[in-house]
Structure 1
Amino acid sequence: MMQEAFLHFLWQFGYFNRSQLTTTGGEAIQILHPGYPNADAGPDFSQARLRIGPIEWVGNVEIHIHSSDWHTHHHQEDDAYDQVILHVVWLHDQDVYRKDHSLIPTLLLANRIDHDLLTKYQYFTSNTEDIPCASQFGKVNAVYKIQALENALMHRLSQKADLVTTLLARNHYDWEETTYQLLARNLGFKLNNDPFLQLSQAVPLKLLHKHSDQLMPMEALLFGQAGLLDTPLEDTYYRQLQKEYSFLSHKYSLRPSKLDAHAWKFFRLRPANFPTLRIAYLAALLQKHKNLFSLFIHLASVKDFLELFHLQPSPYWQQHYTFGKTSPSVAHFGKESKENILINTVVPLLVCYSKVKGKQLYTDRAIELLEALPAENNRITRFWKHMDLPIDHALDGQGSIELYNHFCMQKKCLSCPVGISLLKPARTPVIH
């Protein structure tokens, strides 16, 4: 099945027979410049330069599988498409016109594509492997692999920064509140991300700061709003938290925003990752450091960050993973967990701040931190190492995770330097 992404690829790189190009109306076409891909709303390529008949045109190029898709997508109603100078299609089934009723020239590609190139493309899109190019990956020049990692990394950083931007807007551009929410979310380590974020929104940082002189009220607010103080339990500290929460929730009218205890997942988690212990560490961190955003944004090294998290929760949580069950040895917040927080909280925060303030140095600092961290050891990074893709540090690790999840699994081979290199035609298309 033909996809528009493939037609974009053909047009951008000129991988089609360009000998004696003509419009469907018979006018000669000369491609002086195909234009630049447009990732935003509007026509697919901008600033294209074409000679159609005797006239040289500068404008946009729109690409569709069927020319009738112009109307399917309602482009005839959008002023942004009045500057389209060429309509490139796989199949021509209808003439299309601008709003002033002038005919838009159309180029038909179906009869101009090398059969081997089309076969290779169809192999990638129909391949059931997680990595469509796995059998050919070893043959790819290392330069393309490095480019693929770099592109995937920047995409990942941008996506994570977008989450920060969304939170920032919701928090009326309060950086400290946003940092607190982002940190809380990432303390959930995927399985409990959402309830941790909801908890941070149910217990604002400013409220916690009002009680930062004592750890118990902070714990009471967090555990109470988490819905983890609702069941009867014969445990002295638990009952103290219940009493404190009852008073504070009434004082601040908090109960309507309280989470349900069932929102939290404990199953298949190591005890050190139980949300109860994570909440206790969050309370201890917020009591010890009042301005996390300022600390994170001026972070100079990984060592400095690890020292920020060198803390102990309240005495109760040094002997418990959950309420009411004593454990003789409770695992500390480990180095790997701290590095995970650095990767998923501090780095996106720096990149977002860099974008908002227009200061590249904060993105550079984020990249330096990733280069100073070891790569995550998970299924994806181990897979790429098996494929002989160099994963030397967290910078490579983050890129490899995004490459796998966003490009390979979604078969976006035409957006990947490795895929593009493998799809390059064996012989150069005829050019007029």
Structure 2
Amino acid sequence: MREDLLHFIWKYKKLQLESLVGSKSENIQILEVGSHNLLAGPDFFNAKIIIDGQLWAGTVEMHIKSSDWYAHNHEIDPHYQNVILHVVWEHDCDVFRSDSTIIPTLVLKDYISLDILREYQKLFSRKNSSFINCGSEIGHISDFVLQHWLEVLFFERLERKTDLVSQLLIDSNNDWERVFFVLLSKNFGLKINSGPFFEIASRLPYPVVRKIQANTLQLESLLFGFAGFLDNDIIGDNYYDSLQREYAFLMAKFDFLDPPYQKPEFFKLRPSNFPTIRLSQLANLYALHQNLFSRVVNAKSVGEIYSVFNVSASKYWDNHYNFGKISKSNGKKLNRKFVDLLIVNTVLPIKLSYAKHMGREVPEEILPIISNIGAESNNVISKFKMLNLQFPSAKESQAALQLYNEYCIKNKCLQCAVGHQLLNRKP
């Protein structure tokens, strides 16, 4: 038994509401269950309950056992002094307020349907043998319920991605262009180099980036220099020599100190994702678009965004993956799959954050953009597909990742629309 089942039963009134009697034989009538509180404090606010003919308004707290009240130290917490009803599964002791008045207790197990208990036990009995608890049922859930829930989950995940934007805005005194530069740089590094790329972009003074961004070589020199890639001597490599000269010039001109850095990784990366290639592509992107932030936040379609990111690394990298080592000639253009990741992790979060900042609703182009991007391919998505779920676009795959990470593996089935439908079905 878990407290989330008690919350579910109370919130959706899945109990026999007639003739409720408290642990001290009080007559209890529920007028309003209140608002579910998912933060610290009592579980439900603004409940209205008649107890022995008297109307009470206040908070409701829930526990598996009454004695959990004392185990959680609620008796000394002022936030719990307005609790009007203690709802428990098992009553093993009386609970008192600080003024020594007893808090009425309702024992839920006396008033709920056995059907709900059976479905609940069935749902959680599979957690050790299945990918997700509802693995055998989720593929049969109403398409209307599932699609609506996936859209909610997509925006949940997108909102979470805006948390970093909010923090960066605070750090930069609301410099949106700098925030976008740092976030975009982080995501150019993908999973392995997101940390070092984030550090590089965070340490680079953005006013300097603005001044030099039209000069690709200078911007490359700063990115490579702050990454620690210009510390060697490579004989006969004119491009490398030029980068070193530009870096030394800019360090002196802008009075930079030698930056401490976490050098980006090459290990376990495909050559096309080497940090050398990605940093050059990033520099060329900024050299190509002097107003990159504006272009992105004003883009109305995925096609417009693709055109913005139609960029390649510098010519040197056509036959190099690392400095001083010639490879087979191959242009290093940003491919569609990589741009899709940038859209999901950078473009859409910044568009949503900026719209909110400007006092606008969610941009209407967000759903068409995400719906025209292909679904991700990873282990979690593959397992969902085996359960007969379809992922026509990144909207559904992003939603599925949110579902798995924030609900399935945390056993939050009763906060999930799928779990609700399963518990509400008739035997």
**Same topology, TM > 0.5:** yes
Any residues of structure 2 matched to 1:40-189 within 5 Å, and which?
40-115=39-114, 117-125=116-124, 127-128=127-128, 129-189=130-190
Aligned to 2:219: 218
Q: Structure 2 residue aligned with 1:246, among 228, 248, 251?
A: 248
Contact in 1 for aligned 2:136/2:387 (Cα 8 Å): no
Give me the whole-angstrom Cα distance separating, in 2, the residues matched to 1:246 and 1:331: 27
Change (3 A) 1:291 1:75: farther
Change (3 A) 1:354 1:98: farther
Is 1:260 aligned to residue 259 of structure 2? no
- Give 2:352's aligned amino acid: V
Contact in 1 for aligned 2:89/2:107 (Cα 8 Å): yes
Any residues of structure 2 matched to 1:382-401 within 5 Å, and which?
382-401=382-401
- Give 2:229's aligned amino acid: L
Give me the whole-angstrom Cα distance separating, in 2, the residues matched to 1:372 and 1:331: 24
C-alpha RMSD of matched pairs (Å)? 2.4
DSSP-derived class of the 2:23 partner:
coil
Give me the whole-angstrom Cα distance separating, in 1, the residues matched to 2:262 and 2:14: 57
Any residues of structure 2 matched to 1:304-383 within 5 Å, and which?
304-327=304-327, 328-362=329-363, 364-383=364-383
Contact in 2 for aligned 1:162/1:352 (Cα 8 Å): no
Aligned to 1:430: none
**Structure with more contact order per residue of length (Cα contacts < 8 Å, sep ≥ 6):** 1
Contact in 1 for aligned 2:214/2:286 (Cα 8 Å): no
* Structure-1-length-normalised TM-score: 0.89
Aligned to 1:227: 228
Give me the whole-angstrom Cα distance separating, in 2, the residues matched to 1:425 and 1:28: 30
- After TM superposition, which residue ranges in structure 1, 4 or more long, deviate above 6 angstroms? none
Aligned residues: 423
Deviation, 1:349, is 1.1
Give me the whole-angstrom Cα distance separating, in 1, the residues matched to 2:77 and 2:256: 48
Give me the whole-angstrom Cα distance separating, in 2, the residues matched to 1:108 and 1:16: 11
* Structure-2-length-normalised TM-score: 0.90
**CA deviation vs aligned residue, 1:86-112 (integer Å, no higher than 9, x gap):** 121233344334455443222222444
Deviation, 1:371, is 2.1
Change (3 A) 1:3 1:253: farther
Aligned to 2:406: 406
**CA deviation vs aligned residue, 1:288-316 (integer Å, no higher than 9, x gap):** 22332222211121111111112233221
Give me the whole-angstrom Cα distance separating, in 1, the residues matched to 2:224 and 2:413: 46
- Give 1:329's aligned amino acid: N
Give me the whole-angstrom Cα distance separating, in 2, the residues matched to 1:253 and 1:98: 64
Q: Which runs of 5+ in 2 are unaligned?
A: none
Deviation, 1:248, is 2.8
**CA deviation vs aligned residue, 1:124-182 (integer Å, no higher than 9, x gap):** 44512221111122332222222331221121111112221122122221111111111
DSSP-derived class of the 2:31 partner:
strand
Give me the whole-angstrom Cα distance separating, in 2, the residues matched to 1:243 and 1:73: 64
Give me the whole-angstrom Cα distance separating, in 2, the residues matched to 1:231 and 1:416: 55
**CA deviation vs aligned residue, 1:302-337 (integer Å, no higher than 9, x gap):** 111111112233221232222122221134210121
Change (3 A) 1:254 1:419: farther
